[in-house]
Amino acid sequence: QLQLVESGGGLVQPGGSLRLSCAASGFTLHYYAIAWFRQAPGKEREGVSCLSASGTTTNYADPVKGRFTVSRDNAKNTVYLQMNSLKPEDTAVYYCAAERLSSWYQCRFDDMDYWGKGTLVTVSS
């Protein structure tokens, strides 16, 4: 079965850090660009960060630039989202997604092939 499974969410105080993981099973994540999305209560889903299959191209949404870092460990078939200096407005369900693109060096937030079910991040004191 082809799936992505997120983990690492939880409750954290403002200014704290979390690292989200997204493990793939049933397919080799190495060949896919990946993206992290989030959806806050009452808001539309938004792209947060993406990473090319090559691992050399990244893109971050303006609200998280300088605070979030996306990475991948191909040996573990897993991608990560390191989130630092968390703010209450980062509270959301975070999803990872994967897309096989013709370019090894591209990533985007459209037309994803596989989605995880999400992990909840709550930033509150």
Low-confidence ranges of the chain (pLDDT < 70): none
Q: What is the pLDDT, as a whole number, of residue 72?
A: 95
What's the pLDDT tens digit per position in 62-86? 999 999 999 999 999 999 999 999 9
Element (H, E) at 8: none
Q: What is the pLDDT, as a whole number, of residue 62?
A: 98
Strand order in the sheet with 78-83: 3-7, 18-25, 78-83, 68-73
